[in-house]
């Protein structure tokens, strides 16, 4: 009996001295701060996070915070969370240019950060050795969108309504200065130009990633250009939905009256439109993959070891950034988008 007790005491002593044992048992308090709960894509990401929580164990506690699209509010929230003893911050910045302020707050208390969805400047990320970024490469989405458009144009000669061999298009751009809006707009056009694809831009106007703004702009364009427009290129699906609303009101998508519309995000709300041949397609950025990577990296940063342990599908960048891939979504592979968003449905 004495021998058994001695062995148990040795095991307990080794366990208490083992960093790995301590790390595994250590509770982790995570705060995930979203720029705006009202954002459709981020609502899916939040759902994916909530579904993934149970796999992290009961020792991981997660709070979800809404900054309501206001940077001063977000700054105050970070101060409050730090004062309450948060272990790690996952931040979706309202304004990525404010990252230096947020980093300074966390760095002063040695608190790790995982920025996501909106990428701060590389210099800001590299200014603190305990922060990372998780997101996509917006340039990639513009390239894929361009390829999808060119493939559709080739496969469906009826898209060339005036039969001039050239695609007349309009662009609904996101918020001016937003890195995703700028990159997607630039790359979708450049990719088509470099491929020698014949295009003519009729108009480009920011709709701030919003459905109502896009609907109003599209209505104006229909009055200005009539049926001359052959393709509506949207920086995201929310604006694509607005364009479709305006087009439906003008009698499109009935009979032979048609206009091509493409988006980015492949949201569940556009899946039926792609299935019904109303939208040509979209570009999926998988919110579930991104959600899991954010939480895993946040916990790993607190517990030590490999920051990327358990992260799937991400591509390691050059400045502590992890990029999730995009996928073309059209009618023939619509089940890919359906499966991705099903995983984000909260039970």
Tell me whether residue 221 is in a domain: yes
Question: Does residue 310 surpass a pLDDT of 90?
Answer: yes
What is the total count of domains within the chain?
Answer: 2
Taking the C-alpha atoms of residue 152 and residue 239, their distance in angstroms, rounded to an integer, is 20
Residue 14 has a pLDDT of 31
- Mean pLDDT across the stretch 117-137? 95
**Predicted pLDDT of residue 12:** 32
The answer to whether position 329 is within a domain reads no
Quote the mean pLDDT of the chain: 91
Is residue 101 domain-shared with residue 185, that is, in the same domain?
no
Residue-level pLDDT at 347: 62
> Which one has a higher pLDDT value, 179 or 212?
212
Which of residues 270, 285, 300 is at a domain's end?
285
Residues 296 and 279 in one domain: no
CATH number at residue 8: 3.40.50.2300
Range of the domain at 314: 2-129+287-324
Whether residues 169 and 272 share a domain: the answer is yes
| Angstrom distance (rounded) from CA 273 to CA 34 | 28
- Stretch (H or E) spanning 2: helix 2-17
pLDDT tens, position by position, 210-238: 999 999 999 999 999 999 999 999 999 99
Q: Are residues 118 and 219 in the same domain?
A: no
Kind of pairing between the strands at 167-173 and 231-234: parallel
| Backbone dihedral angles phi then psi of residue 224, each to the nearest 5 degrees | -85, -45
Shared domain for 85 and 148, answered yes or no, is no
**Do 298 and 220 share a structural domain?**
no
Q: What is the pLDDT of residues 147-166, one digit of tens each?
A: 999 999 999 999 999 999 99
Same domain, yes or no, for 278 and 295?
no
Are residues 268 and 296 part of one domain?
no
pLDDT at 309: 95
Residue 128, pLDDT score: 98
Residues 153, 274 share a domain: yes
Which of 254, 285, 316 is the last residue in one of the domains? 285
- Say which range, 14-23, 91-100, 114-123, 275-284, has the weakest mean pLDDT: 14-23
Per-residue pLDDT, 30? 98
* Helices vs strands, H then E, count in the chain: 13, 13
pLDDT at residue 110 greater than cutoff 50: yes
Tell me whether residue 332 is in a domain. Answer: no
Among residues 69, 75, 117, the alpha carbon closest in space to that of 94 is found at 69
In a domain, 238, yes or no: yes
Question: Does some domain include residue 343?
Answer: no
Residues 31 and 99 occupy one common structural domain: yes
Say whether 168 sits in a helix, a strand or coil: strand
Q: Answer with the one of 260, 285, 310 that is the final residue of a domain.
A: 285
Q: Higher confidence at residue 2 or residue 324?
A: 324
8-45, pLDDT tens digit by residue? 333 333 333 333 334 444 789 999 999 999 988 899 99
Is residue 88 located within the same domain as residue 123?
A: yes
> Are 257 and 187 in the same domain?
yes
> At residue 177, does pLDDT exceed 90?
no
- Length, in residues, of the chain: 347
Taking residue 64's Cβ as centre, other Cβ atoms within 10 Å add up to: 14
Q: Say if residue 109's pLDDT is above 70.
A: yes
């Amino acid at each position: 009996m004495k021998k058994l007790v001695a062995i148990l005491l040795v095991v307990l002593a080794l366990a208490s001295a083992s960093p790995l044992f301590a790390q595994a048992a250590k509770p982790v308090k995570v705060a995930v701060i979203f720029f705006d709960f009202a954002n459709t894509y981020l609502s899916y990401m939040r759902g994916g996070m909530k579904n993934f929580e149970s796999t992290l164990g009961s020792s991981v506690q997660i709070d979800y915070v809404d900054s309501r699209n206001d940077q001063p509010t977000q700054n105050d929230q970070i101060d409050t969370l730090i004062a309450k003893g948060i272990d790690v911050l996952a931040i979706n910045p309202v304004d990525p240019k404010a990252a230096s302020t947020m980093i300074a707050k966390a760095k002063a208390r040695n608190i790790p950060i995982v920025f996501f969805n909106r990428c701060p400047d590389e210099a800001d990320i590299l200014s603190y050795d305990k922060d990372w970024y998780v997101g996509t490469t917006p340039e990639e989405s513009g390239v894929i969108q361009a390829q999808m458009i060119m493939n559709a144009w080739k496969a469906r000669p009826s898209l060339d309504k005036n039969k001039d061999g050239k695609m007349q298009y309009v662009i609904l751009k996101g918020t001016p200065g937003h890195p995703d809006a700028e990159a997607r707009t630039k790359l979708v056009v450049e990719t088509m130009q470099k491929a020698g694809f014949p295009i003519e831009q009729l108009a480009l106007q920011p709709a701030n990633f919003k459905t109502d703004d896009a609907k109003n702009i599209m209505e104006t364009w229909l009055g200005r250009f009539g049926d001359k427009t052959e393709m509506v290129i949207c920086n995201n699906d929310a604006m694509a939905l607005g364009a479709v609303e305006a087009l439906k009101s003008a009698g499109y998508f009935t009979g032979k009256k048609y206009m091509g519309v493409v988006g980015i995000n492949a949201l569940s709300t556009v899946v039926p439109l792609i299935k019904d041949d109303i939208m040509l397609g979209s570009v999926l950025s998988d919110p579930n993959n991104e959600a899991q990577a954010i939480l895993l990296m946040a916990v790993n940063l607190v517990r030590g070891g490999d920051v990327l342990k358990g992260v799937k599908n991400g591509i390691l960048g050059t400045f502590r950034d992890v990029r999730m891939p995009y996928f073309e979504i059209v009618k023939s592979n619509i089940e890919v988008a359906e499966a991705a968003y099903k995983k984000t449905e909260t039970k």
